[in-house]
Structure 1
Amino acid sequence: MQESVYDIMLMFWRVIINIFFREIRPRGAYNLPRQGALILVAAPHHNQFLDPLLLMSETFRETRRRVRCLVAAKSLKRKSVGTFISLMGSIPVARAADDAKPGKGVVWLADEDPCILRGSGTQFLSELAPKKQILLPKTVNSALAEVLEVISDTEVRVKKEFGGESGKGTSRIREKVAEIRQTGVEGLDYKILPYVDQREMYRHVYQCLTEGGCIGIFPEGGSHDRTDLLPLKAGVTIMALGAMANDPNLQVKILPVGLSYFHPHRFRSRAVVEFGHAMDIPPELVTMFASGGVKKREACGKLLDLIYDGLKTVTLRTPDYDTLMVIQAARRLYKTPGQHLTLGQVVELNKRFMEGYEHFKDEPRIKALRANVTKYNRMVRDLGLRDHQVPVASKATWKILGLLLYRVGLLLAWSILALPGVVLNGPIFLLASIISRQKAKGTSSPFHLEALAASTVKIAGRDVLATWKVLVSLGVTPILYGFYAFLATIVAVKANAPLFWLILTPVAVMIALPCIGFAALKFGEAGMDVLKSLRPLIVSVIPGQQKHLDRLKAMRKNLSNELAEVINEFGPQLYEDFDEWRIHTPSASVPPSGSSTGLWRRKTSTGAVDAQGNLLVHPMTWLDERLFGWSKSARRGTSVWADSKSEAASGQVSPDGSDDEDGGDYDNVLGYLGTYQGPSPATSKSKSARSSYADLQQLRMTTSSTSNTGHISYGDVGLEDHSPRLSPRQRKSSLSDGVPVERIKELDRAESFRDATEDINRENSLRRRETNLSPSENDS
C-alpha cells in the first residue's frame, strides 16, 4: 500500500463524508495506541461502505495511522467502489454467502436424527461435498449447517444441528415443514454455500500485524439495519491469536469501536465514533490456540467473548425498535429543559438507560413508567410537536404571532437564497433517492443485486441507503455539471461572445456550481431549522390548544420527576457506587431566559451563538434574542462538557432538536456552540472496565449553567473532589420543583446549603410518592 495514494484517497473521502454528515465526533480517541500491531473491531455495521471510511478517517485524524480494512471480495468486483477500495490497501475477504447458489429440489429433517437432511428432487452427490454449507430460507431464521457426509442424492449428514445444539432451530424447521406440507409442498428450499479457503487473506493480515500495522474489521460479517448486534464471526480471533502464535515477540492489541448514527441513511445526519479501551490478548489464550484442536476452538471462543464484552461498552443494543424509542424518550425526559448535551453525552445516556432497563424491565414500576412514556410520546406526536418544544410552547399571544410572522419571513428569505442551488442540484437528489431505495428494497430495476433481496439479516435494507446516495451523487454530479457547462457555452456562442469568454465560460461554470451547491446546502439547513421551529408556534396560536399544552407540560414534568425517582430507587441496586455519586433530581421546569449570558458575551475563544460574529451564522437566534429574548442562547449556560477533543465525543453541544420521536434522534440544529478545552488526557480518569454509576453521574455533573434559576446545574466535579462549588462559573446543587417559601424560611441558617437542599428534595420526593398522582392529573 502506497502511503501517498492512501492519504490522497482518504482526503477525498473525508470531503465526501463531511458533506454527507452534518457532524462527526470522535469519543475516547485517546485510547488509540500510536504504534504497534492493532486490530480495530467496529460495530454495529449500519452503514455499508461509509462505516470503514469513518473508521479510517477518524483513526488517521487522531493518530496518523493508516487502517487496512477487511472488505468483502465481492465489493472489489463492483466498478463503482472496487477501484477506491483497492487503492486504500483494503484486504479482500471471500464470503461463502456471496457465492451461494440455489440447490435443486426441497429438503426436510429426518425424524430420527436432526443432523440428517433428506430431500426430494435433490442431487446431493453432484452438488454437495464435505465442508460445503446448506442455508435454509428466512422463514426458519436462515439456519445454516456444514456438510459432514454426503450419503446419497437424497440424504446428507450435517456436522451440527441447524440453529445450534439448543434444539430451537430444529423445532422451528420441523414446524415449518409440517405447516407447508398442508399446502402440498413437501419441504423447504435451500441454498448451497461453497467452501472458501481463507489462507491468502490470513497471510496478508499476519504480514500487516507483524509489521506493526493496523487492521480494521467488522466482526458481524456484513452490514445490517437491526437494533442489536449480529452474532460475531470468529475470524478476528484467528487473526489476533494466529499472528501472535506465529511470532512470539508480537503483541497484538484489540480495540473495540462503536459507531453511533442519528439517522444513518439521511443526508446531513450525525455520527459518533467511540473508541473503547485497547485490550491485551492473554498469553494463555495464545498457548491454547497453538495447541490446536479443541483447545484452539476454546481459545477463539474465550477471546470472542472478551471482544463482545468490549463492544458492549461502546454500542447501544436494543431488542426492538419500540424499546429504542422508549429509551431515547426517557433520556430526553431526564434532561433539564434548556440543557444542551454533546453527542457523546447523548450516546452515553442512551447506553446507561438501556443497561438499567434491561436489568429492571420486569419491575411493575418500570412497566408503568414505560406505558406512561409511550402515552406521552403519542400525545406529543398528535400535537405535531417534539419533546424539546413542549416546555417552551406557551408565550403571550402577541409575542407568538410576532415570532411566527418573523420566522415565516426568515423562512422565505432562506428559501429564496437556497432556491438556485436546489433547482440546479435537484436531479442529483432525486436520482440518489430513487436509486438508493431500489437498492435497499430489492425491487426490480435495471441495476444489479439488490440488498434486501440478497440478505438474510436485513430488515428494511437501510444500511445501504447512505452508501448508494453517495455513490450515485458522485457519478451524476460531474455529468450534470458538465451538461450545465455545455449549455452555458452554447449560450455564449449564440451571444457572439469573444473567444476569451467562450473559453472562460465552461471553466467559470464548473467552479461556480459547487459554490452554489454549498451555499444552497447551508441556506437550506438554516431554512429547515426555521421550518421545524414553526410547529410549536402554530399549535400555540390555535384556539383551545393551550389546555392540551398545559396538560402535556404537566405530564412531562411529572414523568421527568418520576424518572429521576426511579433512577434514585433502582440505581443503588445496579451500581455499587450510586450513593457516593448521587446528585439531585434535575428540574423539569424551563429556566427563565433573562439573567444569563449576555448577547455579546463570548463563551469561548472559538465563539458561540451569543457572539456578535455569529449574526451571519444563524441570524434567527440573534434576532430572537434581540426582539423577544427567547433564543436558546439565553438558556444554555456558559460551558459545555469539559473534555478535550480526543477524550470527549464532541466539543460542541448537540441542540435540543436532536430528537425525533418517530425515528430516533432528529436532525435539527439551530446553531453551533464554541468548544471548551477541558483537562488533558493525562489528568483524566479513565472509565472503569466494569459498569459504574460514577460514569453516569460524571456525565450529568459536567454541564454547568450560569443562569440563576430554579433548575439543577451540574458542575465539573472530579472523581476525587467533592466540593459543591469548584469555580465561580459553577452553581451549587439546586432545589427540585414545588418547594414552598415557608419551608425555606424554616431552615436553620447554620445548616450548610448542600445539606438543606438534600433534606428538602428528599421531602418533596416522599410527598410526591405518597400523593401518587397520575401525570395527566397533576398540574403542578
Structure 2
Amino acid sequence: MAVTSSDVAYDMMIFFWRIVTNIFFREIRPRGSYNIPRDGALLVVGAPHHNQFLDPLLLMSEVYREAHRRVQFLTAAKSMKDPLIGPFTRLMQSIPVARAQDEAKSGSGRVWLDETDPLILRGTDTKFTSQVKPRCRIAFSKSAGSLSAEVVEVISDTELKLKKEFAAENSKGATKIREKIAEAQATGHAGLDYKIVPYIDQQQMYHHVYNTLKEGGCVGIFPEGGSHDRADFLPFKAGVAVMGLGAMAANPDLKVRIQPIGLSYFHAHKFRSRAVVEFGTPLDIPQELVDMFKEGGEKKREASQKLLDIIYDALKTVTFRAPDYDTLMVIQAVRRLYKAPGEHVTLSQVVELNKRFIEGYLHFKDEPRVQKLREDVIKYNRMVRDLGLRDHQVPRAQRAGWKTLGLLVYRFGLLTVWSSFALPGVILNAPIFLLAKLISTKKQKEALAGSTVKIAGRDVIATWKVLISMVVTPFLYSFYAVVATIIAIKAGAPLKWRIWTPFLVMVALPSVGYAALKFGEAGMDVLKSLPPLIISLLPGQSKSLDRLKKMRDRLSDELTEVIDLYGPQLYEDFDKYRMFTPSAQVPPSTKPQLLRRKSAPQDNLLIHPMTWLDEHLFGWSRSARRGTSAWGGLATPSLSTEHSRHGTPDASDDEGHGDYEDLLGYLHAAQNGTGGKKRLKSARSSFADLQQLKSPTTGSSTAFPRSSSGLRLRQVDGGVAPMTPSPESPTFRTGSRSRRQSLTDNVEVVRIGEVPSAEPFGEATAELNEELKNDNTRGREKTE
C-alpha cells in the first residue's frame, strides 16, 4: 500500500506524542504485543478508559511501535472542533462521532409528570412543538438522578408522550421524578428544569468505519464511551459490536478481528507516573453471529449482545477491575504483603498479581478466614499510615542509634545536593507547573459537575496537564530567550553573542528542564527514605515499630496460608504455575566485592562513588530493592517482552506520591495539606539473558526466594509464542532490522537450567515458548 501524505503526518504525530508521553510517564510497559495481527481488518478495543486523551495516544503509539499499524480512533466530534485538540485529532486520522449529550440544549419552561400517567409529560411555558421531535430524549440534571426518557409523540406545546418511563438504576424513575417535582413545588416552582437531547443518526460514522475496515485498516474504540475514574468498567456501548458485525455483513469476504487491550495506570493523573499496556489474544468474530446480524430485528440485537459479551470477557483477562475502591485498596495491600521485603517485582508482575488476587478474593470473599484477613489488613494499613510510613519501609525500619543518626545526616546532605541541582530547572519551569496544576484542577471540577459516572474527575487531569504544558512551554521559553537577549545587549556583549543568545537559550532550557527532572526524581527518592529514620529517632517509637513489624510478619504468614489453602480450590494447576512464595523477613545479602554493588553478581560495572559510600559506609543497600526476577543478565532486551526497564517501586500503587511540581512547597496548601511523594526507583534494571541463566549461579543470584511451601502462584494468562515478523508484515517491509525472539517471563527457572548450553539462543527460546504455550492450552482445555 502506497504511503500517503496523511500517513506521513500520522507518523510524525506519533513520533511527537511518543516524546510527550515518555516525558509525562516515568515508564510505559507493553505486554503481549506479539498478539497484534500484522495485517487485515482490525478493531482495537481498549479499557478501562481512565485517562481521557492520553489513553488513545498510548494505544496508537504502542500499536504503531510494536506492529507498525496506524490506528484510527473514534473521537467525539465536539473534541475535533476544539481549537486546541482538534488539529491533533485530524492529523491522527481520527473518525468523528457526534454524541447526543454534546448537542443537548436546555428546554424552555419547566416540566412535570402527569398525576395518573407516568408516560405523559406536561409543561409550563414550554415550546415542545418547535423544540422537541420524536426520538429525542428529555433529560434531567444530576441532582434529579440524571434520568432521561425517549419522546415518542409531541402532542402540543405543553404536552408530550414518552416511549418508556424515566429510567434509573437503583430506583423507580417516575417515583424519583415525582419526589423532585414535589420539592420544586414546595419552593414555589412549577416543575423541573430539563434538557432536550437530540437523536443522532450515526450512519455516516458507521459508513466511514466500514470503509476503513474493508481496506484492511485499524479502527480504535473505547466501548465504555466516555472516560471515567471508577474501579470497574462502565456498561459497554453496543457500537463496537455493530461495527464488527456490520462490516462483515456488508462485505462477505471481509474477516474482522478484534484486539483487546488493557490499560493499567499507577496514579494516572500524576506527572511521572507509570502505565502498563497489555495486549490480549485477538478475537475472530463468529460467522454465525454475522448471519444473525443480517436477519435484523431481535436477531440483530441478540448477535450484537453476544459479541459484546465476548469482548467484555476478553477485556477482563487483560485488566484489573475491583467492585469498589475499598476492595482495590485491600487487594493492593495484600499484594505488597505477599511480596518478600527484599524482593522486587516488575510492573508486569504487579498487574498480574493484582488480577489473580482480585479473582481469588471475589471467589472466596464470604469465607470467615478471608473476611478476618481483610479486617486485619485494613487495621495494618491504618497503623502504617498513623506512623507516617509506607509498607515497603516497615521491614527495614530500625532501632535508633548512632548509625541511624549518621545515615539521616548523610541523606539530608544528599537531598540538599540533588535539590540544589534541580532548583534552577524547577524555578525556570515553575510557571508551567503552576498553570498546568491550576487549570487541570479547574477542568477536573467542571468535568465532575457535568458527569454522572465520574467519582473525582481525575480522568481529565493528565490530559489538561499535558495540553497546558505544550501550549505554555514555547511561550515561556521564548520569553526567557528575549530576556536573555536584552540582558546581553545591555551588558555590552559582542554582536556575535547577541545574535546567538536566543538560540543558545532555546537549546539550553530543555536540557536544564530535563536535568531538573532527573535530579528532582533522585531527590524525591531520597526524601522518601527519610521518614523511617526520623520515626526511629523519636522517643518511644521503637516499640511501635516492633509491634508493626511483628504484625506485618504475622499477616504475611497468614496470607501465605490462605493462598495455600484456597489457591488449589480455584485452580487445578495452582502448584505448577505459582509465581513465588514470600518470606516476611529481609533476605540476607552475600558479602559483596569492595567495588561491586551488593548482591548483584551480574552487574560488573563500577558503581558511582556516592552510591558506594551509601551502601558500604551506611549500609543503605539499593540491592535490597533490586529485581529478584529470573532475568538477571546483561543482554539488551526486546521491545515489549523484556522485564521492566526501570525498577517497579516498592511503594504501593495506592500510596499518595505527588506530582513533580509538588517540589514547589506552596502547592501543598492547594492540595489540602497533602504532601507530594514519589516512589523509589532502582538505579539500574535487571534483564533476561538465557546464556547467563545457563551458567552456574550461587548465593544472591537465586531468582525466586521460596518459603517452606516452595510453590509458585498460578499463571492466569494464556500461552506465549515468539513473535517473528512475516515477510508481508509492515514491520518487515519498513524496518531496517528484524526483531530478536524473546523468552516469556512465565518459564520456570529450573526448566531454563535444563537447556543444553550448546543449543543456539533462538532455537532454545522458540522451544521453551512453544512448550509453555502447549502446557497452558492443555490446562485451559482441562479446566473447560
| TM-score tier (shorter) | 0.7 to 0.9
Deviations 1:465-493 (A, max 9, x none): 11111111111111111111111111111
CA shift for structure 1 position 185: 4.7
1:351 is aligned, of 352, 355, 358, to: 355
CA shift for structure 1 position 670: 2.9
Match of 1:671? 682
Higher mean displacement: 71-80 or 159-168: 159-168
Tell me if the contact between 1:336 and 1:712 (Cα under 8 Å) persists in the aligned partners.
no
Evaluate the alpha carbon distance shift between residue 374 and residue 638 of structure 1 in structure 2; reply closer, same or farther with a 3 A threshold. Answer: closer
1:493 paired to 2:497: no
Deviations 1:427-457 (A, max 9, x none): 1111111111111113xxxxxxxx2233232
TM-score, structure 1 normalization? 0.82
Deviations 1:581-615 (A, max 9, x none): 568852111112345798626999xx98x553552
CA shift for structure 1 position 637: 5.8
Tell me if the contact between 1:316 and 1:351 (Cα under 8 Å) persists in the aligned partners.
yes
Match of 2:522? 526
Higher mean displacement: 354-363 or 265-274: 354-363
Evaluate the alpha carbon distance shift between residue 165 and residue 667 of structure 1 in structure 2; reply closer, same or farther with a 3 A threshold. Answer: closer
Match of 1:515? 511
Letter in 2 for 1:465: I
Letter in 2 for 1:345: Q
CA shift for structure 1 position 638: 5.2
Tell me if the contact between 1:338 and 1:656 (Cα under 8 Å) persists in the aligned partners.
no
1:48 paired to 2:52: yes
CA shift for structure 1 position 111: 5.3
Match of 2:535? 539
CA shift for structure 1 position 424: 0.8
Is the partner of 2:327 in helix, strand or coil?
A: helix
1:414 is aligned, of 415, 418, 422, to: 418
CA distance in 2, matches of 1:95, 1:521: 40
Match of 1:626? 616
Is the partner of 2:206 in helix, strand or coil?
A: helix
Tell me if the contact between 1:637 and 1:704 (Cα under 8 Å) persists in the aligned partners.
no
Task: Flag structure 1 segments of 5+ consecutive residues without an equivalent.
Answer: 443-450, 681-702, 731-780
Listed as ranges, the matches of 1:198-597 within 5 Å are 198-395=202-399, 397-442=401-446, 451-578=447-574, 581=577, 585-595=581-591
Match of 1:134? 138
Is the partner of 1:16 in helix, strand or coil?
A: helix
CA distance in 2, matches of 1:563, 1:716: 13
CA shift for structure 1 position 308: 1.2
Is the partner of 1:38 in helix, strand or coil?
A: strand
Is the partner of 1:25 in helix, strand or coil?
A: strand
Tell me if the contact between 1:134 and 1:190 (Cα under 8 Å) persists in the aligned partners.
yes
Higher mean displacement: 654-663 or 319-328: 654-663
Is the partner of 2:230 in helix, strand or coil?
A: coil
Evaluate the alpha carbon distance shift between residue 613 and residue 358 of structure 1 in structure 2; reply closer, same or farther with a 3 A threshold. Answer: same
TM-score, structure 2 normalization? 0.82
1:650 paired to 2:644: yes
Deviations 1:173-229 (A, max 9, x none): 445445555555554332111111212211211111011111111111111222221
Match of 1:159? 163
Is the partner of 2:27 in helix, strand or coil?
A: strand
CA distance in 2, matches of 1:584, 1:14: 35
Match of 1:750? none
Match of 1:615? 608
CA distance in 2, matches of 1:713, 1:151: 75
CA shift for structure 1 position 134: 1.9
Evaluate the alpha carbon distance shift between residue 705 and residue 667 of structure 1 in structure 2; reply closer, same or farther with a 3 A threshold. Answer: farther
CA distance in 2, matches of 1:438, 1:579: 51
Is the partner of 1:148 in helix, strand or coil?
A: strand
Deviations 1:53-104 (A, max 9, x none): 1011111110011111111111111111111110111111111101111123
CA distance in 2, matches of 1:256, 1:677: 27
CA shift for structure 1 position 727: 6.2
Letter in 1 for 2:480: Y
Deviations 1:90-143 (A, max 9, x none): 111111101111123333444555444344443322221111122222234422
Evaluate the alpha carbon distance shift between residue 586 and residue 10 of structure 1 in structure 2; reply closer, same or farther with a 3 A threshold. Answer: same
Tell me if the contact between 1:441 and 1:453 (Cα under 8 Å) persists in the aligned partners.
yes
CA shift for structure 1 position 726: 4.5
1:18 paired to 2:12: no
CA shift for structure 1 position 313: 1.4
CA shift for structure 1 position 8: 0.8
CA distance in 2, matches of 1:599, 1:713: 34
Tell me if the contact between 2:343 and 2:628 (Cα under 8 Å) persists in the aligned partners.
no
CA shift for structure 1 position 649: 6.9
| Identity rate, percent | 62
Evaluate the alpha carbon distance shift between residue 197 and residue 352 of structure 1 in structure 2; reply closer, same or farther with a 3 A threshold. Answer: same
Higher mean displacement: 366-375 or 117-126: 117-126
CA distance in 2, matches of 1:708, 1:464: 41
CA distance in 2, matches of 1:364, 1:181: 50
Letter in 1 for 2:687: Y
CA shift for structure 1 position 673: 3.6
Letter in 1 for 2:84: S
CA shift for structure 1 position 25: 0.5
CA distance in 2, matches of 1:189, 1:575: 54
Evaluate the alpha carbon distance shift between residue 652 and residue 679 of structure 1 in structure 2; reply closer, same or farther with a 3 A threshold. Answer: farther
Evaluate the alpha carbon distance shift between residue 325 and residue 224 of structure 1 in structure 2; reply closer, same or farther with a 3 A threshold. Answer: same
CA shift for structure 1 position 320: 2.4
CA shift for structure 1 position 145: 2.5
CA distance in 2, matches of 1:663, 1:126: 54
CA distance in 1, matches of 2:251, 2:101: 32
Is the partner of 2:584 in helix, strand or coil?
A: coil
Letter in 1 for 2:644: S
Higher mean displacement: 487-496 or 507-516: 487-496
Is the partner of 1:612 in helix, strand or coil?
A: coil
Is the partner of 2:454 in helix, strand or coil?
A: coil
CA shift for structure 1 position 458: 2.0
Is the partner of 1:39 in helix, strand or coil?
A: strand
Tell me if the contact between 2:263 and 2:277 (Cα under 8 Å) persists in the aligned partners.
yes
CA distance in 2, matches of 1:410, 1:711: 40
Evaluate the alpha carbon distance shift between residue 638 and residue 369 of structure 1 in structure 2; reply closer, same or farther with a 3 A threshold. Answer: closer
Aligned residues: 694
Higher mean displacement: 216-225 or 99-108: 99-108
CA shift for structure 1 position 709: 9.0
Evaluate the alpha carbon distance shift between residue 578 and residue 714 of structure 1 in structure 2; reply closer, same or farther with a 3 A threshold. Answer: closer
- What is the CA RMSD across the aligned residues, in angstroms? 3.2
Task: Flag structure 2 segments of 5+ consecutive residues without an equivalent.
Answer: 659-675, 692-699, 721-745, 756-784
Letter in 1 for 2:681: L
CA shift for structure 1 position 172: 4.0
Evaluate the alpha carbon distance shift between residue 138 and residue 547 of structure 1 in structure 2; reply closer, same or farther with a 3 A threshold. Answer: same
Letter in 2 for 1:194: P
CA distance in 2, matches of 1:712, 1:578: 13
Letter in 2 for 1:544: G
CA distance in 2, matches of 1:13, 1:165: 39
Tell me if the contact between 1:557 and 1:589 (Cα under 8 Å) persists in the aligned partners.
yes
Letter in 2 for 1:514: P
Deviations 1:324-344 (A, max 9, x none): 111111111111111111111
